[in-house]
Structure 1
Amino acid sequence: MNDTSEKNHLSNVKVSNTDNHICINNPDYFLTFSDLEISDGIDIVENIIILKDDVKNNENLDIEGLIGLTEDYKETNNISGSYISTFSNDLEYFTNTYDDYGILNIISNDVSVEDFTDKLKVANSPKGFKDARIDLGEVILINKSLSPKLLINIYKTCIKAKTKFFQGLNLPVHINNIINQNDFLVIASNLPSQDYDEEYMDSGVDITQAEYDDESLDIPKFLKDLEESVIINCEDSVKRMGLDFGILDYLVSEGIQISDLVDAGFELCVGVDVTSDLKNRLEEEILKSLTDINVIALLMAAIRTEQDFENNRLREVDISDDPAYLYTDEVLGLAISNQIAGTKATFNFKRYDEKKPGIIFGLGPMLDDIFAGLIAGCMSKIFEE
């Protein structure tokens, strides 16, 4: 990436970037509220700096070390003036602008969607899902002079909107666990009009007595507009990352691998020479079944239902002891086996449901039956061929 710069819709704000930093500069000063590493809370600064993690050289630095590192980086790259800053794994960014504000979105993503078969994909990361991260940092630049109290209110509103958006996606658990573990949010507005020369700034600015634009705003509408804009920017970020999730991702989130299902399938196979070829045929049949929209719908119905049950989202339901009167799980398991291999598979389902071989034994009350149905159907299919 070459050095670039662009004018933000705020008249004097300039965004510049290199491979190792993004710098948002306002020579007329920002009044900010943020959760950055250096420094969080209320600040008056000329620069908002996001440095790439690589600048730290993987050193475990305390706050003083991070400040020293940032100061050295500023000097080397001819960045002058006061600042707040933080670090990000990646520096890909885009901006969306509105009437009175703009949102700069910094995306950091270790996950990509890869082909698993010609019809199935899976989300993966070279870092593994223990260390992988998906972070969305945002800098909201407001072309108004707003009070510290309103900046804090805006911050709370935007955090809630962002949290609400990602909760609403109902992502696979292992993906949800790595989202926004190192994200950040900056709310930056103009300082009230005044001559902010160096001597005046050195003597200290009394932000409590300044005249702000709060009274000229319809604050409830402004906050609502910001909330909707944050959600739209989150949607845009997810699209730009190319992240979507399929049935294999939800199997991974439950700790289920295709090889586990193959092993469970042959545990009840008596009097048959279990060859590598036979295992491969079962694997192929399982993967084929996982492209059937009806099988997917039945699997996801059980996965979502079990999540609701386990998290006590329905006051009328208690599955702590796998109640005998809960038989919808068997209905779904029977439906899956029948969808894959017809009536014969429904009889095979009874064996797998009762014995619960392999990984099926450790699954919850909804999942054990649906995967018993999946295996029963696929086993019936390969032995009828």
Structure 2
Amino acid sequence: MNICIDKVKIKKDEQTMLIYREDGFEVMGSTTTGNGHGHVNSIVYHGLDNQKHPVPYNDEEIEEHERVMERNEYLTTVLDFKGVKEPAASILLPLKNFEFEICSDTDYTILVSAVKDSALFLNILVFVDHDLNPKTMVKMYKSIIESKMAALWDLGVINHFSFDPVDTDDDESILIAAKGSSDEFNYKLDHDIISRVQRSVRETVKTALNKEGFPKGVIEFMRDVGVEVDDLVDAGMQLIVGVDETTELREKLKAQIYHSLEDLNVVSFIIAGIRLEEDYEKHRVRGVDVDDDPAYLYSDEVFGMSVANQIAGTKAIFNFKRYDEEKPGIISELGPVLDDIFAGVVAGCMSKIFEV
């Protein structure tokens, strides 16, 4: 790993990476310990499989601020044990074997770590081979946040159902580490370095997210709104008539659902429904309120009938009416648009597996 700033040294063991320099770094950002603005001798990454709970306990036994304090105390103890010279900016990562996506130019180096587990964890470190004025560092910090959010938007990570940008992990970090500080504000440098770093951060975050499975497939989008394929199978089985529910029948329906989810037109209806449901639920269209699923809203049923028809033709439309009216299983838990779309998926797939 090559850092753009001269005389930077790196030490790494099984869980910890230490980045240090005799003259240190001028930093600004948010880290587990040592955040804010100032001078540090070193930057430390420490990986932990159970990053959220360094000391085992049940969530109900501890409050959020106590959990944050506990992680900070744990990391401070680690730094003392490893003999890290203070002051230091340190970041607690959720995996021991952490990896970075790296982007380098002549005067900056960007390191991005992305981990998708039960939640998405992102941290960004930008080294700058210039003496930076505090005003420039503040503007750069703001631009990096904007670039991160733009990358999340580009890859469809941000949506109401699965990711609230405000609800991020406390240990997610953004840190700028400059060669030194300057009392003079350089307008040319300010514009040039910030614009280049901003573009590179956006692309580097996207590359890191690509390696974590983004953008999502239709199954993941369905999961965002609380729908699993097994839920659709359960709903389909609830309205079968004239035959017994068997493991073989369930597996046949599941296989048909997966097959139908390979149809671009079915996928298009599902994604359109998710987007529309989000916009309506968030009341993003002035003058439109469908919270109570009003009777005059019938475009959702048109979507549902279209999905059913796409999968199994005209006969599936009649089956759709049964699933739309009864709303078995997961269908009853969905909003005014998605209940009809997934009723259409189930109705179409049920009609398809009983074709002669």
TM class by shorter-chain length? 0.7 to 0.9
CA–CA distance in structure 1, aligned partners of residues 242 and 266 of structure 2 = 29
Which amino acid letter does the alignment assign opposite residue 89 of structure 1?
A: P
* Runs (5+) with no aligned partner, structure 2: 56-66
Question: Which segments of 5 or more consecutive residues in structure 1 lack a partner in the other structure?
Answer: 1-5, 111-131, 193-209
* Residue 9 (str. 1) matches residue 4 (str. 2): yes
Match of 1:33 among 28, 34, 53: 28
Q: Which residue of 2 aligns with 1:189?
A: 178
* Offset of residue 337 of structure 1: 0.9
Aligned to 1:176: 163
SS in 2 for 1:190: strand
1:201 maps to which residue?
none
Matched, 1:336 2:307: yes
Choose from 120, 139, 142 the match for 2:128. 142
Rounded to whole Å, the distance in 2 between the matches of 1:371 and 1:64 is 48
- Which residue, 71, 75, 84 being the options, matches 1:66? 75
Percent identity between the aligned chains?
Answer: 34
Note the 1:68-217 alignment, pairs <5 A: 68-73=77-82, 75=83, 79-80=84-85, 82-90=87-95, 91-110=98-117, 132-171=118-157, 176=163, 181=169, 182-191=171-180, 211-212=183-184, 214-215=185-186, 217=188
Partner AA of 1:185 in structure 2: I
The answer to whether the 8 Å contact 1:7/1:14 transfers is no
TM-score (structure 1 length as normaliser):
0.80
Offset at residue 260 of structure 1 (A): 2.2
3-state SS in 1 of match to 2:14: coil
1:15–1:25 contact (8 Å) kept in structure 2: yes
User: Does structure 2 retain, via aligned residues, the 8 Å contact 1:38–1:63?
Assistant: yes
| 1:210-289 equivalent positions in 2, closer than 5 A | 211-212=183-184, 214-215=185-186, 217-289=188-260
Considering only aligned residues, what root-mean-square deviation do their CA atoms show, in Å? Answer: 2.5
CA contact (8 A) 2:162 2:225 kept: no
* TM-aligned CA deviation for residue 296 of structure 1: 0.9
State the distance in 1 between where 2:325 and 2:74 align: 60
Larger radius of gyration: 1
Displacement, 1:184?
0.5
The separation in 2 between residues aligned to 1:62 and 1:338, in whole angstroms, is 54
Native 8 Å contact 1:25 1:48 kept in 2:
yes
Distance apart, 1:218 and its partner CA: 4.3
For residues 37-56 of structure 1, the aligned pairs below 5 Å read 37-53=32-48
The aligned length equals 337
Shift of 1:168: 4.0
TM-score, length-scaled by structure 2 = 0.86
Give me the whole-angstrom Cα distance separating, in 2, the residues matched to 1:220 and 1:243.
Answer: 31
Structure 2: distance between partners of 1:226 and 1:68: 34
Q: Separation in 1 of the partners of 2:352 and 2:50?
A: 56
Call closer, same or farther: CA 1:372–1:12 in 2, change over 3 Å.
same
Match of 2:355 in 1: 384
- What is the alpha-carbon distance in structure 2 between the residues aligned to residue 358 and residue 108 of structure 1? 33
How far apart are the structure 2 equivalents of 1:221 and 1:98?
A: 13
